[in-house]
């Protein structure tokens, strides 16, 4: 609105009050001194006298008020020109002011605007004044509507968890508020059903809040579950037995490794045997190592027992068997046939056929008898 017009309206109001005081003085009451300010009517009369033009009729009709808007948002400065319009048959512009408002509202000091703080119906008192000082007052019923969205604040935008974690309170990360209703944290709803604890991956937690007027706001939180669990190593033996000088055994025979994310990692297993001296007896330790794609490292140990190399036994000297003396030939009793130069066992049937003069008994060895020129009997074969 034109500020000069408002000043003129105030000046006219002061002039009218001065005229009222003057009238009171002429009726017997003491006259009150007013500022020496001419009213718009006095200025008009002087001009008419100088121009010797006929007097124009005085403007005594106030502006006409008409409601313009009936629904307004909360927490915004609403101008009086948005609430009501004023028309005057004489003036193109009039001074509009808000002079009162019920409910939880704040009227600006100059009456140019109002702020509605709660939803509901308000009665707004307005006044329009024209340049002649004619004023019109009225009341306009308006509705204040909450169009202010609540806000959700997250203390974190991304949460990282290990795959060994089985639960997490995502609700504690969120708060909600509204310029109209204040703290709405208890009204937050949350959906964390998409999160699979223990399974590495990226997931989303969704938050939602609504105020009593149905204004809604949503927010989301990224949840990253990291692979923090190393592979599992399986060793078929916990101790290796060697002999010094045998060299390195096949440590990886039968060794397997599995990872819940990367699967079979048996081919990735490595062996650290730097501490083993394969030429010297002793007990040593070998380390088996395997890492997954997330660099989670798993170690396992086994003992290596190196036995000393056995000392070879000396080759025994060949032994010569002592000469064996032949057993002496046994002595027997023989019957000699001195005639035919044969010898017989005493039981031989040929002995009975021999003549007594040709018989001779001899006790000795067979060789001795044969040495005497006798031959064995073909029948008894002595």
C-alpha dist (Å) from residue 156 to 172, 178, 224: 10, 20, 12
DSSP string over 44-67: HHHHHHHHTPPPPPP--PPPEEEE
Query: Do 179 and 141 share a structural domain?
Result: no
Query: Do 139 and 68 share a structural domain?
Result: yes
DSSP annotation of 11 reads H
110 found inside a domain: yes
Query: Do 155 and 133 share a structural domain?
Result: no
127 found inside a domain: yes
Last residue of a domain, one of 145, 180, 201: 145
> How many beta carbons lie within 10 A of that of residue 363, not counting itself?
10
Query: Do 166 and 134 share a structural domain?
Result: no
Q: Please tell me the predicted confidence (pLDDT) of residue 16.
A: 37
> How many beta carbons lie within 10 A of that of residue 324, not counting itself?
6
Q: Please tell me the predicted confidence (pLDDT) of residue 58.
A: 83
Domain limits for position 38: 14-51
Q: Please tell me the predicted confidence (pLDDT) of residue 14.
A: 45
58 found inside a domain: no
261 found inside a domain: yes
- Let me know if 177 is exposed, middle or buried by CB neighbors in 10 A (0-12, 13-18, 19+): middle
Query: Do 89 and 43 share a structural domain?
Result: no
Alpha carbon 286 to chain centroid distance? 36
Query: Could you tell me which residues come within 8 angstroms of residue 260 by beta carbon, excluding any fewer than 6 positions away?
Result: 229
Q: How far apart are CA 338 and CA 361, in angstroms?
A: 10
Q: How far apart are CA 101 and CA 123, in angstroms?
A: 6
pLDDT profile of the chain (382 residues), mean per 10: 48 42 35 32 47 70 92 94 92 90 94 94 96 93 94 94 92 95 96 94 96 94 94 95 92 95 95 95 96 95 93 76 74 87 88 86 88 90 83
Q: Please tell me the predicted confidence (pLDDT) of residue 243.
A: 93
Query: Do 141 and 68 share a structural domain?
Result: yes
Q: How far apart are CA 3 and CA 137, in angstroms?
A: 19
Query: Do 347 and 296 share a structural domain?
Result: no
Last residue of a domain, one of 200, 226, 252: 226
4 found inside a domain: no
The CATH number of residue 262's host domain is 2.60.40.10
Query: Could you tell me which residues come within 8 angstroms of residue 286 by beta carbon, excluding any fewer than 6 positions away?
Result: 240, 251, 271, 272, 273, 275, 276, 301, 302, 304
Q: How far apart are CA 374 and CA 366, in angstroms?
A: 10
6 found inside a domain: no
Q: Please tell me the predicted confidence (pLDDT) of residue 286.
A: 97
Give the pair of three-digit tokens for residue 266: 């048996």
Q: Please tell me the predicted confidence (pLDDT) of residue 53.
A: 59
Burial of 42-57, coded b for 16+ CB within 10 Å and e otherwise, reads eeeeeeeeeeeeeeee
Query: Could you tell me which residues come within 8 angstroms of residue 176 by beta carbon, excluding any fewer than 6 positions away?
Result: 150, 151, 152, 153, 183, 184, 185, 187, 188, 209, 217
C-alpha dist (Å) from residue 325 to 190, 319, 320, 368: 115, 18, 15, 19
210 found inside a domain: yes
Model pTM score: 0.53
348 found inside a domain: yes
Query: Do 175 and 242 share a structural domain?
Result: no
Structural domains of the chain, count:
5
Helices and strands (DSSP H and E) totals, the chain: 4, 27
Q: How far apart are CA 269 and CA 156, in angstroms?
A: 39
DSSP string over 304-318: EEEEPPPPPPPPPPP
Last residue of a domain, one of 208, 226, 244: 226
Q: How far apart are CA 231 and CA 268, in angstroms?
A: 11
Query: Do 96 and 40 share a structural domain?
Result: no
The residue among 251, 167, 158 whose CA lies nearest residue 203 is 158
Query: Do 165 and 122 share a structural domain?
Result: no
Query: Do 247 and 297 share a structural domain?
Result: yes
Q: Please tell me the predicted confidence (pLDDT) of residue 36.
A: 31
Query: Could you tell me which residues come within 8 angstroms of residue 33 by beta carbon, excluding any fewer than 6 positions away?
Result: none
Query: Do 88 and 32 share a structural domain?
Result: no
The residue among 80, 60, 185 whose CA lies nearest residue 124 is 80
Q: What DSSP element (H or E) covers 10? A: helix 3-26
Place of tokens 């997931």: 203
Alpha carbon 117 to chain centroid distance? 42
Query: Could you tell me which residues come within 8 angstroms of residue 150 by beta carbon, excluding any fewer than 6 positions away?
Result: 176, 177, 178, 181, 184, 209, 210, 211, 215, 216, 217
């Amino acid at each position: 609105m034109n500020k000069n017009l408002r000043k003129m309206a105030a000046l006219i109001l002061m002039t009218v009050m001065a005229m009222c005081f003057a009238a009171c003085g002429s009726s017997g009451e003491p006259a009150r001194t007013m500022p020496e300010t001419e009213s718009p009517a006095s200025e008009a009369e002087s001009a008419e006298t100088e121009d010797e033009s006929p007097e124009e009729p005085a403007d005594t009709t106030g502006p006409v008020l008409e409601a313009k808007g009936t629904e307004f948002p909360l927490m915004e400065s609403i101008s009086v020109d948005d609430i009501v319009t004023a028309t005057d048959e004489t003036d193109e512009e009039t001074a509009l002011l808000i002079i009162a408002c019920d409910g939880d509202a704040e009227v600006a000091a100059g009456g140019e605007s109002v702020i509605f703080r709660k939803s509901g119906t308000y009665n707004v008192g307005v006044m329009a004044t024209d340049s002649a000082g004619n004023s019109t007052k009225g009341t306009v019923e308006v509705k204040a509507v909450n169009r202010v969205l609540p806000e959700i604040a997250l203390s974190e935008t991304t949460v990282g968890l290990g795959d060994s974690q089985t639960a997490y309170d995502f609700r504690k990360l969120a708060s909600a508020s509204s310029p109209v209703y204040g703290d709405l944290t208890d009204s937050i709803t949350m959906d964390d059903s998409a999160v699979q604890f223990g399974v590495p991956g990226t997931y989303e937690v969704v938050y939602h809040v609504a105020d009593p007027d149905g204004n809604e706001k949503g927010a989301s939180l990224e949840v990253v579950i990291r692979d923090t669990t190393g592979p599992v190593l399986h060793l078929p033996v916990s101790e290796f037995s060697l002999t010094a000088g045998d060299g390195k055994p096949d440590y990886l025979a039968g060794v397997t490794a599995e990872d819940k994310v990367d699967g079979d990692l048996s081919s990735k297993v490595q062996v650290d045997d730097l501490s083993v001296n394969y030429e010297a007896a002793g007990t040593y330790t070998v380390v088996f190592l395997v890492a997954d794609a997330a660099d989670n490292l798993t170690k396992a140990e086994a003992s290596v027992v190196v036995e000393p190399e056995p000392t070879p036994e000396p080759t025994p000297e060949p032994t010569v068997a002592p000469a064996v003396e032949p057993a002496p030939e046994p002595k027997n009793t023989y019957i000699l046939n001195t005639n035919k130069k044969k010898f017989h066992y005493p039981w031989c049937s040929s002995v009975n056929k021999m003549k007594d003069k040709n018989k001779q008994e001899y006790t000795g060895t067979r060789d001795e008898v044969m040495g005497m020129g006798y031959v064995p009997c073909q029948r008894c074969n002595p």
